[in-house]
Amino acid sequence: MKRFILLIMLLLPMVGYAQQPMTFESITAKYGSKQGVTTIELSKDALQAMGVSNGISHMEAIAIESASLIKEFCDDLEIFTVDLKAILSVNSNGESVKIYGIADKSGSYNEMIIFTANKSEGVAIRLKGENIELKEAKNMLNM
């Protein structure tokens, strides 16, 4: 019985950890300091200076160029986006692009996640703001 209680006490923290939801912040924290990873964060002022103004007030991005991390990164993003509404999905020549939206009560998108991956790179971009339009999200891919 003592062994059973000890085993439960040892496993309990793992159960709590496994139930933590995957978030964009947790993905950035997990990969942000690793070799072959670049993170970017832009404020509303920086976005406006770059000519982006249609509802986007904040942008975060993470790019993985380390071949050893790409599959795990893509798997983590699939877990993160499983409950999000897919707006656009394109697969062509080994590259995929997916855009997910998070809408407010009125149905306008206040957050979008753009995820693109191929064999050599994985990129996730999170846009936050009000009334974000799909064309703005697609324009962010061309920056």
Strand residues in the chain grouped as ranges (E) = 37-42, 56-64, 85-92, 95-103, 109-117, 122-129
Asked if 32 contacts 62 with a C-beta cutoff of 8 angstroms, the reply is: yes
Query: Strand pairing of 109-117 and 122-129?
Result: antiparallel
Q: What sign does the dihedral 68-99-84-136 (CA atoms) show? A: positive
Which residues have CB under 8 Å from 103's CB, separation 6+? 85, 109, 110
Of 136, 132, 126, 109, which is closest to residue 39 (Cα–Cα)?
Answer: 126
pLDDT tens digits, 96-111: 889 999 888 888 889 9
The whole model's pTM is what? Answer: 0.78
Residues of the chain with pLDDT under 50: 6-7, 16-19
Which residues share a beta bridge with 111? Answer: 102, 128
Q: What is the pLDDT of residue 51?
A: 80
